[in-house]
Amino acid sequence: MDVRLSAEQRALRDSAAQVVSSLAPRTVRELDDSERAAKLDATVDVSGWRELRTAAVAAGGVPLASAVETAIVAEELGRGLADTPFLGPTLAAELRRLAAAPPGSSLETVAFTPDLSAPACAADGVLPSPAIAIDARAAPSALVLVPASGGYRLASAAVPDARATLDLTRSVARLDYPAAVVSLPAQGRPLTAEDLVRWTSLGLALTCADLVGAMSGAVHLACEYALTRRQYGVAIGTFQAVQHRLADAFVSLEGSRSIALHAAWAVDASPAGAALAAAASAKAYCARAARTVCEAVIQVHGGIGNTWECLAHLYLRRTLFSSDILGGVGASLARVLDHHGIGPGDGLR
Amino acid sequence: MDFADSPAEAAFRLRLREWLGGNNPHLPASSTSDAYWAGQADWHRALYDAGFFGMCWPPEIGGQGLSSVYDVIVDSEIAAAGAPPRPHVGFLVEGLLRHGNHDVRCRFLPGIVSGRDRWCQGFSEPDAGSDLASLRTRADRAEGGAEYIITGHKVWTSYSDEADWCLLLARTDQGVPKHRGISAFAVSMHQPGVTQRPLKMINGITKEFGEVTFDGARVPASDMIGAPGEGWPLAMTVVSHEREPGQLGYVARYSKAASELAQQARGGAGRLRADQLNDLAWAIVEAEMLRLHVCRRLSERLDGASSGPEGSVDKLLMTSVEQAVGHAALAVGGAAHDGGDGTWLSMYLYSRAQSVMGGTSEIQRNLVATRILGLPGS
């Protein structure tokens, strides 16, 4: 066992951090800077980060990069509030890889149920209920599942105009209802239940990485503020009440980092059931931590933290969004108990 | 980046697993019964004799000279077997390794590592808790200078009733600022002038904590650990290791409790309320978090990094795990209203001490804020 990042993994992290620090929004106002956003999109386009989970060879098989590398990128994008599609395209690429289908557009995304807890399912050529495509800005299409013999097949739905809702850094689109879907050509095999467990594990692990990154950025923001904002003649970070709130936030972040790292590793290294349990444990822990941490960050900012102009709510919004994708605290705890043979988990909070 | 065993680690794990199959003493949880402490010395020696103790310490003192990753394996296999956690003496070993001279290291460390000699730690006093540096126990040079005479009162002295030796902090210089006048000694507990009495904790155990009075006890000057005035740096070394879940082997303790509670829940899942399931699920998740956090920390040590203020982060994480497991113990294990087996109630009550012992959570937060986050000291 040696869970230090390799030299290559550290280099990937550093290059992602560099892109994010130069091109991601540093103020709320910069979200509207379309020139900056276009540069970020273009840089990520050529980085190949959205294609990390495409098959290394055309016929399917192992991905170009492990979930650990993919999570490294997700964490850095979260830390910098990067407003560029990543999770949706990555999960779409993973679905295509698992179905032994050829790669699609690098901006293709995935549609979820309205609460984002599960992938959307179509039948008879239409989506029978409302669905939400994530990372929808510039996405030509969103993948959905269609029940078929042997499991599921993939179909694609057109993505209407996207808009930012909860998360101001990643836009969503509500798919027309009932939306027509087109079966994806050249699928080598149906997606099995185990494939979907594996895919869900990847999605949970990547949302955990995003949460860890966002928590880290938020804690950094609050510490900076605590050092500069003065009251009673001293920086507010001098006060123990503020220090303890930030210390608790940092401790939650560190625990989250450890459990999220393992979840990312388990996606490719563990049996499917164990990978899902690892991912669900991580998601429960990180999602609970993220909300508490981001709320603390708003509190440390005082009145300013409750204004639109302060970045703090961007972190809170992004973490709430990532938490909901493929299930937040309650759904994840239920999965953990299920893995231990205990159920039903209804009523968990 | 790999959580999996290397071939050598896998072989070690297998050997340990087979050994545990035939050598598990099935002691009750350490925090809930005096029976554990009665059997702990034998368990320590059994682990040591079989080569499963002191994995990352130098062979010269009885260690195995391996990487600290092997401690993770020991803890995970102990947890899987439901065996008692390994006794934790790492804080003593690290303190003496770093601050003791060659003679001190040779005389004392092999007995600590092998479990032959039992030690307690004489740091806290009735008026020196979080503010440890204000301790008042004195060590005065006896006539002739070959010995010191100890006078004072120590409290929260873990295992004082079993101890052969006490790692004692005492003031040797009244004329310098409080942090600089403290020295450390290895004091024999078997002598006139040393009186210990047990402290009964809120869960009723009496074997873990004690208080000790020193009234004219004597210690040779050659049993000073480090130089005169080096007591404070030594204390910081010791407490920073005392805070580490990797050193303490507590991962096994929490995993074992969480899995026993899960076992109990499986027996009667239909009868558990949502709030009970909730507490159980968090105990499982928190225990798993700590296991993985220790893996990460010990991997970082492979670079040769020594422990620093992040020990406070680890202590706070360990505390949240112990107290989450405590809540699950109360929720799922029950409060024994009928006067029956109170093991789970006892575990819950004991869990409240975790945010105090080894440095309160408030002190740990101060350290995280000022040493890691860079916020101003007060």
Q: Looking at the partner chain, which of B1, B5, B275 has a beta carbon nearest the beta carbon of A4?
A: B1
Q: Which of A120-129, B133-142, B252-261 has the highest mean pLDDT?
A: B133-142
Task: List the Cα angle B5/B10/B12 in 5-degree steps.
Answer: 125
Q: Could you tell me if residue A348 is inside a domain?
A: no
Q: Are B266 and A340 inside 8 Å of each other by CB?
A: yes
Fold of B238-372: Butyryl-CoA Dehydrogenase, subunit A; domain 3 (1.20.140)
Cis peptide before B228 (omega within 30 of 0): no
pLDDT score of A345: 46
Cis before A344 (ω within 30): yes
Amino acid at B58: P
Rounded Cα gap, residues A179 and A129, in angstroms: 9
The verdict on A18 and A160 lying in the same domain is: yes
Dump the DSSP string for B228-256. TT-HHHHHHHHHHHHT-HHHHTHHHHHHH
B49-84: per-residue pLDDT in tens? 999 999 999 999 999 999 888 988 998 899 888 888
Do A198 and A301 belong together in one domain? yes
For residues B154-166, average pLDDT: 92
Number of helices (H) and strands (E) in chain B: give both, helices first. Answer: 12, 8
pLDDT of residue B10: 97
How far is Cα A314 from Cα A312, in angstroms, rounded to an integer?
5
Q: At A272, which CATH number?
A: 1.20.140.10
Strands across the sheet containing A151-158:
A173-174, A132-133, A109-112, A141-148, A151-158, A181-183
Lowest-confidence range among A13-27, B252-266, B298-312? B298-312
Q: Between B167 and A124, name the one with better pLDDT.
A: B167
B242 is catalytic: yes
Beta-strand pair A60-63/A55-57:
antiparallel
Provide the whole-model pTM.
Answer: 0.95
A105 at B interface, C-beta within 8 A: no
For A62-115, the pLDDT digits (tens) are 999 999 999 999 999 999 999 999 999 999 999 999 999 999 999 999 999 999
* Residues 6+ away with beta carbon under 8 Å from B357: B156
CB < 8 Å from A in window 249-268 of B: 262, 265-266
CB contact under 8 A, A269 and B4: yes
For domain B7-95, give the fold.
Butyryl-Coa Dehydrogenase, subunit A; domain 1 (1.10.540)
Q: Give the Cα separation of B139 and B151 in Å (integer).
A: 7
Q: Note which residues in 302-341 of chain A have CB less than 8 A from chain B.
A: 333-334, 336-337, 340-341
Q: Is A28 at the interface with chain B, CB within 8 A?
A: no
Report whether B289 contacts A285 (CB < 8 A): yes
Which one is predicted more confidently, A66 or B336? A66
Q: Which helix (H) or strand (E) holds A33?
A: none
Angle at CA of residue B195, ends B29 and B234, nearest 5°: 70
Under an 8 A CB cutoff, do B2 and A234 touch? no
Query: What does DSSP assign to residue B5?
Result: P
- Residue B30 confidence (pLDDT): 67
Residue A221 sits in the same domain as residue A175: no
pLDDT recorded at residue B214 = 98
CA separation, residue B337 to residues B201, B340, B341 (Å): 20, 7, 10
Co-location of A132 and A14 in the same domain: yes
Q: What is the DSSP string of B301-363?
A: HTTTPPP-THHHHHHHHHHHHHHHHHHHIIIII---TTS---HHHHHHHHHGGGGTTTS-HHH
Q: Are residues A33 and A166 in the same domain?
A: yes
- Residue A60 pLDDT: 63
**Does residue A257 sit in the same domain as residue A310?**
yes
CA distance B309 to chain A (A): 12
Radius of gyration of chain A (CA): 20
Dihedral over Cα of B244, B248, B252, B254: its sign: negative
Residue A194 in this model has a pLDDT that exceeds 60: yes
Ranges of each domain in chain B: 7-95, 119-230, 238-372
**What's the confidence (pLDDT) of residue A347?**
43
**Six-digit token string for B62:** 């009885």
Residues near A42 by beta carbon (within 8 Å), at least 6 away in sequence: none
Picking from A145, A169, A191, the residue at the C-terminal end of a domain is: A191
**A110 and A42 within one domain:** yes
**pLDDT for B128:** 94
The phi, psi pair for A66, rounded to 5°, reads: -75, 170
* Cβ proximity of B79 and B251 under 8 Å: yes
B18-46 pLDDT per residue, tens: 999 999 998 876 667 778 777 888 999 99
In a domain, A347, yes or no: no
In this structure, what token pair is assigned to residue A229?
Answer: 């904002």
The most distant pair of C-alpha atoms in chain B lies apart, rounded to whole Å, by 75
Please give the pLDDT value at position A171. Answer: 96
Number of domains chain A is built from: 2
pLDDT in tens, A46-66: 999 999 999 987 656 899 999
Helical residues (DSSP H) of A232-328, grouped into ranges: 240-269, 272-300, 302-305, 312-324
In this structure, the answer to whether residues A118 and A235 fall within a common structural domain is no
Q: What's the confidence (pLDDT) of residue B272?
A: 86
The pLDDT of residue B53 is 95
Phi, psi of B219 (to 5 degrees): -140, 130
Question: Is the CB of A342 less than 8 angstroms away from the CB of B269?
Answer: yes
Residues A46 and A125 grouped into a single domain? yes
Using the CB atoms, write b or e for A152-185: b if 16+ within 10 Å. Answer: bbbbbbbbeebebeebbbbbbbbbeeebebeebe
- DSSP letters spanning A200-257: HHHHHHHHHHHHHHHHHHHHHHHHHHHHH-EETTEEGGGSHHHHHHHHHHHHHHHHHH
Check residue A75 and give left, alpha or beta (phi > 0: left; psi -120 to 50: alpha). Answer: alpha
Same domain, A124 and A154: yes
Which of A129, A156, A191 lies at the terminal end of a domain, its last residue? A191
Distance CA B113, CA B63 (A): 7
pLDDT-above-70 percentage for chain A: 97
> Would you state the pLDDT for residue B252?
80
Q: How far apart (Å, rounded) are the C-alpha atoms in residues B355 and A244?
A: 14
A346 pLDDT above the threshold of 60? no
- Closest CA–CA distance from residue B177 to any residue of chain A (Å): 25
List CB contacts of A65: < 8 A, sequence separation 6 or more.
Answer: A52, A53
Radius of gyration, CA atoms only, chain B? 21
Domain spanning B119-230, CATH architecture = Beta Barrel (2.40)
Query: Hey, what's the torsion of the CAs at B363, B367, B368, B369, to 10 degrees?
Result: 100
| Percent of chain B whose predicted confidence (pLDDT) is above 90 | 70
Identify whether the C-beta of residue B90 lies closer than 8 Å to the C-beta of residue B61: no
Asked if residues A120 and A105 have their Cβ atoms less than 8 Å apart, the reply is no
Amino acid present at B340: G
B3/A269 touch (CB, cutoff 8 Å), yes or no = yes
d(CA A207, CA B110): 48
Q: For residue A60, what is the enclosing H or E element?
A: strand A60-63
Q: Is the pLDDT of residue A348 over 60?
A: no
pLDDT bucket at B227, cuts 50 / 70 / 90: very high
> How much is the pLDDT for A33?
97
pLDDT of residue A112: 98
Residue B88 has pLDDT above 60, yes or no: yes
Q: What is the pLDDT of residue A317?
A: 98
Mark which of A191, A225, A259 sits at the end of a domain.
A191
A249, A292, B118, B279, B290 from B275: Cα distances, Å: 25, 20, 43, 6, 23
Is residue A249 domain-shared with residue A305, that is, in the same domain?
Answer: yes
Domain annotation covers residue A240: yes
Interface test with A, best of B12, B284, B372 (most A CBs within 10 A): B284
Q: What is the mean pLDDT of residues A166-195?
A: 94
Mean pLDDT score, A126-136: 95
Closest CA to A279 of A306, A259, A249: A259
Pairing mode of beta strands B165-171, B119-122: parallel
A216 and A276 inside one domain: yes
- DSSP class of B365: H
Residue type, position B242, single letter: E
Contacts of residue A346 in chain B, CB cutoff 8 Å?
A: 274
User: What is the overall mean pLDDT for chain B?
Assistant: 92
Domain, as residue range, for A151:
7-191
Integer Cα distance of B261 and B263 in angstroms:
5
Within 8 A by CB and 6+ apart from B269, the residues are A342, A343
Rounded to a whole number of angstroms, the distance from the CA of B373 to the nearest CA of chain A is 7
CB contact under 8 A, B313 and A337: no
